[in-house]
Amino acid sequence: MSILENREKLFSNPNFLDWKFQLQNRIRANDLEKFFNLSENEKIAIKNSIRLNIGSTPYYLSLSDPFDEHCPIRKTIVPNIGETIFSKEESKDPLHEERLSVVKGLTRMYDDRVLLFSNQDCSVFCRHCMRGRKVSYNDQRMETNDLENVFDYLKQHPEISDVVISGGDPLNLSDSKFEFILKNLNEIESVKICRIGTRNLVTLPMRITDEVCRIIEKYNNNNLSIFCNTHFNHEKECTELSKKAILKLIKAGVSVGNQTVILKGINDSGEKMLSLHKKLLEQRVRAYYMYDPELIPGSKDFRVPLAKGFEIIEYMRGKISGMGIPHFVNDLPGGGGKITLTPEWYLGFHRETRSHVFLSALRGTYHLSPEVEGSEYDLKYKEIPNSLWEKIRLNFKTAHVA
């Protein structure tokens, strides 16, 4: 059969909207040629990738273009030639999550927050995944006794109040295993916040069943506040099915935020990020983080210059409400934690007039704001260069005094 015929047969299956059908019929490496007109470079990458295994749900595959190598969904499913090269600056674990692991499956980078790896499985093995060392490999499976060790650690460390459940994808667990985790977290008095990190809203939205919502609603109570962070990277991922899944979570009392990664050739422009975040707001998803790509093996074809992130935020500011503008962050190599990166809209302090000088992201004009009287912080502010102050002074008739 032709590529289009193979796709039509798969997508017209009467069980297509059943999440178990989706997982049981994931497209693997040997199947890709049935659904894509593969280039020679893609064929080489499929054979020689040093990244994680290959897999996609039929649903996510249906969003891709079988003939366009530049399709953003295709780039997420099909390896590129960069995946065959382990560059010298790359690391299997650039954030030192394993070094910071206190018990199997639990990473502690901050005093009050931990990251729980609930499982090793995802619905789609995204090519930019920062946890390729874990995802899709059975030796990373978390057994019940491993989870119990995690809960014991949390009980012994009451200073930890916030648990992020990640993986893999926690919503690839069975309903009973997923509930087992929430039930135990709910019973630990010191744990007040639970954040579910899932990409299934993007790759397997039919997984958000009535039963999953019932489980979440049951444990989203006075003891435990549950949030959800998902991972949309391109507006093509925003579908009616994903919107339906998001609304079900919201009705279960869970707010949904989005974490995106700047990926070369997928969303590395202000226009594409703006379109994505406008779509997300329409689907009731607030922007959370926009990540600078991690230095993971075989990722060189996805990475962008750091300045690209500043350009994107500068472009978006003034074109969408603050709810739709993510924090541009870098999760520091070596386990340094996240830092927020911002464009230079604060230009400095003019000590003679005791004025702070800002550049308007919306207008491109200069604006002044006085420091409060009696402040003891004057010497802590960076001083604006005289040359820039003169430029501002000469052009001040077009500026606005705050």
Taking alpha carbons only, the member of 331, 387, 382 closest to residue 131 is 331
CB-CB contact of 78 with 46 (8 Å): yes
Residue 94 lies in a domain: no
Q: Which of 341, 358, 376 is the last residue of a domain?
A: 341
Give pLDDT tens digits for 259-289.
999 999 999 999 999 999 999 999 999 999 9
CA angle 227, 231, 235 (to 5 degrees): 125
Same-domain pairing of 381 and 291:
no
Same-domain pairing of 235 and 182:
yes
Residue 217 lies in a domain: yes
CB-CB contact of 340 with 329 (8 Å): yes
Helix (H, G, I), strand (E, B) or coil at 349: strand
Q: How would you list the strands of the sheet with 366-370, edge to edge?
A: 346-350, 355-359, 366-370, 400-401
Same-domain pairing of 376 and 337:
no
Cα–Cα distance for residue pair 178/90, rounded to 1 Å: 33
Same-domain pairing of 134 and 66:
no
Residues contacting 293, CB < 8 A, separation 6+: 128, 261, 262, 263, 299, 302, 303, 304
What residues make up the domain containing 13? 3-84
Tell me what pLDDT residue 399 has: 46
CA angle 165, 170, 172 (to 5 degrees): 175
Q: What is the pTM of this model?
A: 0.93
Same-domain pairing of 317 and 353:
no
Q: Retrieve residue 165's tokens.
A: 């459940």
Same-domain pairing of 327 and 381:
no
Same-domain pairing of 273 and 161:
yes
Same-domain pairing of 156 and 247:
yes
Query: Can you give the CATH number for the domain in which 284 is found?
Result: 3.20.20.70
Mean pLDDT, the chain, integer = 95
pLDDT, mean of residues 139-151? 93
Same-domain pairing of 199 and 293:
yes
Tell me what pLDDT residue 397 has: 55
HSE (CB half, 13 Å, CA atoms) of 73? 21
Tell me what pLDDT residue 133 has: 87
Domain count of the fold of the chain: 3
What single string gives the DSSP state of each residue in 33-67?
A: HHHS---HHHHHHHHH--SS---B-HHHHHTS-SS
Same-domain pairing of 153 and 222:
yes
C-alpha torsion angle, residues 267, 268, 270, 276 (rounded to 10): 10
pLDDT, mean of residues 60-72? 98
Residue 96 lies in a domain: no
E-assigned strands of 95-135?
101-103, 106-107, 113-117
Same-domain pairing of 57 and 187:
no
